[in-house]
């Protein structure tokens, strides 16, 4: 029983990383209005940005967060220029194929630049344990959950309290109407896309710290998990996407208790299939918009 | 890639077309008699293999407008099926081959079913996931797939005492399969089924209003594509004699996808052209092979920017629409 | 006369918006039935429910006495209801002929094997489709444009292609969503005559339209919707006289003449 409980706690912790990836994904899809395959690569690059930052300035988590956010946000600009900007009015599959191409490009460049092997990222956070027996939290887990919660809170403030946040919400609801209200849709989407990608980057850093390793090909499964979680919110609803991430983390960690850790990704996939079969439009509340 | 009118007029006449076709096939069949180095024969074999893979992916992506990016998964299922059947059950190649196709088809149905009602992007991500899951299973199911060691010593097919072990001989298997594939696909595309697929690609709502059972036809379309990927896989493993899970990674799926996109979706010739170009590029880039996928990625993006319908793609299709697409509203009122 | 399509207190809500609210309707076989109403009155939503695009929030749709509520569009098309769209949904990169050919989908049944072998059924069906498609195109007067890309046709002709494509299904009932929108008066009159001619051949036709003159001249029976509710039903003369209708179109107290 204790084992399952500790796995559930691990699940919540990992789930909160997935939640952050899914939040980033939902922001991107919501603001840009086009689905992306590059998110996994953006996450991976965030992880590498933090890795090199830690090597340069030492294990300072705050600087790591900022560095991974900025690096991924910058990649977001690049992705936006290549995949979205020209294709807002084109059929969707064109920008979709572009994002696939960009994802290939980024992953293979990363493999060349960073090398194909796993890199260890040890002892960024001291190995400490709070709790009794098997039930408890490690310091890493506390830091991960705290980072995710504080970033979500910042995002919430940004969306509801700032001018730019409100413009972003307007753009994600209706680009034409937003343009008629004098909002620069292009610039706002660019900003929203960068924020979403930046959040993905921070999630990548957390993943690397949590697993104490990172590799250039980690983007594939990360992107898949971001998508699976976001599907729960119909790809654009942020709170539901976060809930999806948590569920996914728990499902995965309970799943590997009945099998082996190498099947971890299979549970993410089964989770996605189940969501698609049971409730494909996601659990977000439908507002009065026609389908 | 415009063909002069005088030549295209030649193709209009049915008798002419048939005789040209026979001539072409005869030329293709004579190639192994040229005693090319086995390196070149190997390249030709790979091109033929990829014409089937890219062609079957094109049936899905190009003709019905669905979006499959994990085609390598079905390829892998076919390859593992024929390898396991021939290694463990000593089944002859000619029986294992259709079973490989059928199994890939069944998996294709399972993958496609949950997403048939949804927008194409869901199918895309599910195929991506399925491809990765298939690879993971192949990597971890030690007893059946040999895990990370892969499967070795897959026996060469034998027909009437003739053993297809070298690429000069295996060339004929790939050639026949590829010809059968293109013959069948051409007939189906021109039939009522093909029309239904294309109508789904062009406008799903309209197709449904005309009574096209879109879910059934999308499923059939996906299964047909997966079937041929399975056949290609089934033919691949005795040719290569060794398979391992990393041959069927996502990158392999992207490799096939890039052939379809570079050649042109929604035409029969497109994937052939794509397979030829990409495979020659692969050979050309062999000294810097780690940049191979980088080059393909750039080519894919360039295609989308400059010529979304691909090199020989139809310019008259939703697939070719660019930034001025969806201009229907302009006509209103 | 027998009732071919019956709607029983159909409701459709989009969130808080009541697009259609408790509409009853009975369409008699062999009639031209008009549905009119100001913008946003719920006409197209109602059509989408009849053709299976939307599932109604409440209520039932009966077609020839059979409950078709919530059936998918393709099944309803198979039963014999064909439709056109307000915002033209042609296969824009296909020729007129190819467009119409797809309309024959439900009237043919060759499958994979037939197509592979090209047996007799396949050849006969292909010939049937080719001939019939040309005949339908001829009927709507598009023969000169058989091989023209649908998107290259002017707007009025595109509407006709949609009608031809719907006729290819050989439906029992034809739903036309704003068939004369964007047509000039001459084309409108021609289409009106064409619809009357089709009706004489036995098609039951339902038309949504804004053009009052067109509706009054073409339809036998008219239903008026406003804010999702039925405000009036009757023959053209009755509707013309109805006070609620005039108010819906022109507002209260401003009515000078009738709707014409």
Residue with tokens 């996914």: A248
CA distance A45 to A68: 8
| pLDDT, tens digit, 9 for 90 and up, residues A94-120 | 888 889 899 989 999 999 998 888 888
Do the beta carbons of residue A252 and residue A270 sit within 8 Å?
no
Closest by CA position to B144, among listed B81, B94, B96, B91: B81
| Chain A residues near residue B126 by CB distance under 8 angstroms | 272-273, 276
| Chain C residues near residue A288 by CB distance under 8 angstroms | 14-17
| Chain B residues near residue C126 by CB distance under 8 angstroms | 191
Domains of chain C plus CATH, in order, are: 1-80+174-234 (3.40.50.300), 91-170 (no CATH)
pLDDT value of residue B108: 93
Q: Where are the domains of chain A?
A: 2-115+129-278
Do the beta carbons of residue A219 and residue A107 sit within 8 Å?
yes
Closest by CA position to C212, among listed C180, C234, C182: C180
Q: Where are the domains of chain B?
A: 48-247
Considering CB atoms only, which of C89, C125, C181 is closest to B203?
A: C89
Closest by CA position to A204, among listed A236, A226, A233: A226
Closest by CA position to C222, among listed C202, C242, C203: C242
Section B275-279 average pLDDT: 91
Q: Does B199 touch chain C (CB under 8 A)?
A: yes
Considering CB atoms only, which of B136, B291, B296 is closest to A263?
A: B136
Q: Does A1 touch chain C (CB under 8 A)?
A: no
pLDDT tens track, chain A, 291 positions: 677 888 888 888 889 999 999 999 988 888 888 888 899 999 999 999 999 998 888 888 888 899 999 999 999 999 998 888 888 877 777 888 889 899 989 999 999 998 888 888 877 777 777 776 666 778 888 888 888 898 989 988 888 888 888 888 888 888 888 888 888 888 888 999 999 999 999 999 999 988 888 888 888 888 888 888 888 777 778 888 888 899 889 888 888 887 777 778 888 888 888 888 877 666 655 443 333
Residue with tokens 């010529």: B307
ipTM over cut 0.90: no
Q: Does A286 touch chain C (CB under 8 A)?
A: yes
Closest by CA position to A261, among listed A40, A25, A14, A45: A14
* Assigned architecture for domain A2-115+129-278: Orthogonal Bundle (1.10)
Most C-contacting residue of B201, B211, B213, B224 (CB-CB within 10 A), to test interface:
B211
Chains linked to A by 3 or more Cβ pairs within 8 Å: B, C
CA distance C31 to C202: 9
Q: Which long-range contacts (CB under 8 A, 24 or more apart) does C139-148 make?
A: C139/C164, C139/C167, C140/C164, C140/C167, C140/C194, C141/C194, C142/C96, C145/C96, C146/C95, C146/C96, C146/C97, C147/C95, C147/C96, C147/C97, C148/C95, C148/C96
Residue with tokens 């990649």: A75
Tokens of A272: 């996605």
CA distance C107 to C110: 10
Residue of C nearest to A290 (CA): C14
**Degrees, nearest 5: CA angle A80-A86-A89:** 115
Do the beta carbons of residue C234 and residue C223 sit within 8 Å?
no
Q: Does C91 touch chain B (CB under 8 A)?
A: yes
| Chain B residues near residue A272 by CB distance under 8 angstroms | 125-126, 129
| pLDDT, tens digit, 9 for 90 and up, residues C36-49 | 888 778 888 888 88
| Chain B residues near residue C101 by CB distance under 8 angstroms | 195
pLDDT value of residue B330: 32
Q: Does C116 touch chain B (CB under 8 A)?
A: yes
| Chain C residues near residue B329 by CB distance under 8 angstroms | 87
CA distance B299 to B254: 12
Do A269 and B129 make contact, defined as CB atoms within 8 angstroms? yes
pLDDT value of residue B289: 79
Residues of C at the A interface, defined by Cβ within 8 angstroms = 14-17
Closest by CA position to A99, among listed A252, A227, A216: A227
Burial category of C64 from C-beta neighbours within 10 Å (exposed 0-12, middle 13-18, buried 19 and up): middle
* CB proximity list for A44: less than 8 A, separation 6 or greater: A106, A107, A110, A204, A214, A216, A217, A218, A219, A222
Q: Which H or E run includes C34?
A: strand C32-36
Do the beta carbons of residue A259 and residue B140 sit within 8 Å?
no
C-alpha separations of B185 from B193, B217, B224, C46, C112 in Å: 11, 15, 9, 41, 10
Å between B329 CA and nearest CA of chain C: 8
Å between A39 CA and nearest CA of chain B: 12
| Chain B residues near residue C112 by CB distance under 8 angstroms | 188, 193, 220
Do A287 and C17 make contact, defined as CB atoms within 8 angstroms? no
Do B293 and A104 make contact, defined as CB atoms within 8 angstroms? yes
Do the beta carbons of residue B18 and residue B161 sit within 8 Å?
no
Å between A172 CA and nearest CA of chain C: 19
Q: Does A287 touch chain C (CB under 8 A)?
A: yes
| Chain A residues near residue C14 by CB distance under 8 angstroms | 288-290
Do the beta carbons of residue B76 and residue B135 sit within 8 Å?
yes
CA distance B26 to A36: 46
pLDDT value of residue B315: 61
Do the beta carbons of residue A240 and residue A234 sit within 8 Å?
yes
**More confidently predicted of C165 and B158:** C165
Tokens of A147: 């980072």
| pLDDT, tens digit, 9 for 90 and up, residues B30-76 | 777 777 788 888 889 999 999 999 999 999 988 988 888 889 999 99
CA distance A232 to A242: 9
Do C105 and B184 make contact, defined as CB atoms within 8 angstroms? no
Residue of A nearest to B290 (CA): A112
Section C188-208 average pLDDT: 89
Confidence grade of residue C259 (pLDDT, cut at 50, 70, 90): very low
Do the beta carbons of residue C55 and residue C30 sit within 8 Å?
no
Residue of C nearest to B319 (CA): C93
| Chain C residues near residue B198 by CB distance under 8 angstroms | 91, 94
**Degrees, nearest 5: CA angle B112-B116-B121:** 85
């Amino acid at each position: 029983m204790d084992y399952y409980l500790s796995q559930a706690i691990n699940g919540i912790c990992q789930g909160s990383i997935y939640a952050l990836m899914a939040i980033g994904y939902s922001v991107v899809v919501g603001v840009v209005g086009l689905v992306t395959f590059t998110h996994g690569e953006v996450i991976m690059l965030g992880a590498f940005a933090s890795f090199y930052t830690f090597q340069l300035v030492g294990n300072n988590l705050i600087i790591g967060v900022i560095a991974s956010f900025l690096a991924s946000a910058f990649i977001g600009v690049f992705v936006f220029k290549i995949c979205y900007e020209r294709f807002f009015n084109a059929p969707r599959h064109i920008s979709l194929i572009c994002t696939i191409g960009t994802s290939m490009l980024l992953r293979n460049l990363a493999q060349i630049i960073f090398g194909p092997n796993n890199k260890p990222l040890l002892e960024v956070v001291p190995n400490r344990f709070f709790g009794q027996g098997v039930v408890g939290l490690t310091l890493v887990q506390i830091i991960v959950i705290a980072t995710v919660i504080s970033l979500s809170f910042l995002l919430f403030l940004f969306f509801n309290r700032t001018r730019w946040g409100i413009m972003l919400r307007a753009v994600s609801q209706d680009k034409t109407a937003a343009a008629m209200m004098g909002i620069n849709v292009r610039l706002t989407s660019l900003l929203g896309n960068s924020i979403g990608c930046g959040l993905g980057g921070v999630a990548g850093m957390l993943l690397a710290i949590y697993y104490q390793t990172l590799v250039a090909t980690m983007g594939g499964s990360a992107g898949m998990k971001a998508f699976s979680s976001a599907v729960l919110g119909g790809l654009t609803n942020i709170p539901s996407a976060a809930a999806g991430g948590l569920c996914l983390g728990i499902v995965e960690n309970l799943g590997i208790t009945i099998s082996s850790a190498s099947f971890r990704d299979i549970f993410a996939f089964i989770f996605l299939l189940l969501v698609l079969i049971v409730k494909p439009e996601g659990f977000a509340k439908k507002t009065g918009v026609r389908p | 890639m415009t063909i002069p009118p005088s030549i295209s007029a030649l193709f209009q006449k049915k008798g002419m077309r048939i005789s040209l076709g026979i001539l072409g096939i005869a030329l293709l069949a004579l190639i192994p008699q040229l005693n090319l180095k086995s390196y070149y024969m190997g390249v030709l074999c790979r091109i033929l293999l990829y014409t089937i893979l890219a062609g079957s992916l094109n049936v899905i992506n190009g003709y019905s407008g669905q979006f499959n990016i994990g085609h390598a998964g079905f390829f892998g299922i076919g390859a593992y099926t024929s390898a396991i059947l021939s290694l463990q059950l000593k089944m002859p190649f000619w029986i294992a081959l259709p079973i490989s196709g059928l199994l890939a088809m069944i998996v294709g149905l399972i993958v496609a079913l949950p997403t048939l009602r949804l927008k194409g992007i869901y199918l895309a991500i599910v195929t991506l996931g399925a491809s990765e899951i298939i690879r993971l299973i192949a990597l971890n199911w030690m007893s059946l797939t040999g895990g990370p060691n892969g499967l070795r010593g897959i026996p060469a097919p034998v027909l009437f005492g003739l053993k297809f072990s070298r690429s000069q001989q295996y060339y004929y298997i790939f050639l026949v399969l590829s010809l059968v594939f293109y013959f069948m696909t051409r007939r189906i595309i021109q039939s009522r089924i093909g029309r239904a697929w294309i109508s789904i690609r062009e406008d799903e709502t309209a197709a449904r209003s005309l009574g096209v059972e879109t879910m059934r036809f999308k499923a059939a379309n996906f299964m047909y594509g997966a079937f041929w990927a399975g056949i290609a896989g089934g033919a691949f493993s005795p040719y290569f004699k060794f398979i391992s899970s990393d041959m069927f990674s996502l990158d392999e799926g992207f490799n096939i996808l890039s052939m379809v996109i570079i050649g042109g979706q929604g035409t029969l010739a497109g994937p052939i052209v794509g397979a030829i170009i990409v495979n020659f590029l692969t050979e050309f880039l062999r000294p810097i092979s780690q940049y191979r996928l980088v080059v393909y990625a750039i080519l894919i993006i360039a295609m989308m920017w400059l010529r979304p319908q691909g090199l020989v793609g139809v310019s008259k299709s939703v697939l070719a629409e660019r930034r001025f697409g969806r201009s229907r509203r302009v006509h209103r009122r | 006369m027998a009732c071919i399509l019956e709607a029983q207190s159909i409701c459709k809500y989009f969130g808080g918006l009541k697009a259609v609210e408790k509409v009853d309707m009975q369409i008699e076989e062999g009639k031209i039935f008009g549905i009119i109403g100001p913008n946003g009155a719920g006409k197209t939503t109602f059509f989408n429910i009849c053709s299976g695009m939307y599932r109604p929030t409440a209520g039932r749709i009966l077609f020839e006495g059979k409950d078709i509520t919530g059936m998918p569009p393709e099944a309803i098309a198979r039963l014999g209801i064909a439709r056109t769209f307000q915002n033209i949904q042609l296969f824009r990169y296909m020729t007129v002929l190819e467009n119409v050919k797809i309309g024959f989908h439900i009237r043919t049944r060759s499958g994979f094997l037939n197509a592979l072998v090209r047996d007799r059924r396949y050849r006969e069906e292909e010939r049937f489709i080719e001939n019939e498609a040309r005949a339908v195109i001829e009927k709507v007067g598009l023969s000169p444009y058989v091989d023209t890309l649908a998107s290259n046709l002017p707007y009025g002709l595109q509407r006709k292609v949609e009608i031809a494509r719907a006729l290819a299904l050989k439906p029992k009932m034809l739903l036309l969503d704003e068939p004369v929108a964007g047509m000039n008066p001459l084309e409108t009159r021609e289409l009106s005559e064409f619809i009357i001619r089709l009706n004489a051949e036995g098609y039951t036709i339902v038309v949504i339209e804004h053009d009052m003159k067109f509706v009054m001249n073409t339809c036998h029976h008219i239903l008026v919707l406003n804010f999702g509710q039925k405000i009036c039903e009757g023959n053209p003369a009755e509707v013309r006289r109805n006070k609620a209708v005039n108010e819906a179109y022109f507002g209260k107290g401003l009515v000078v003449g009738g709707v014409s």
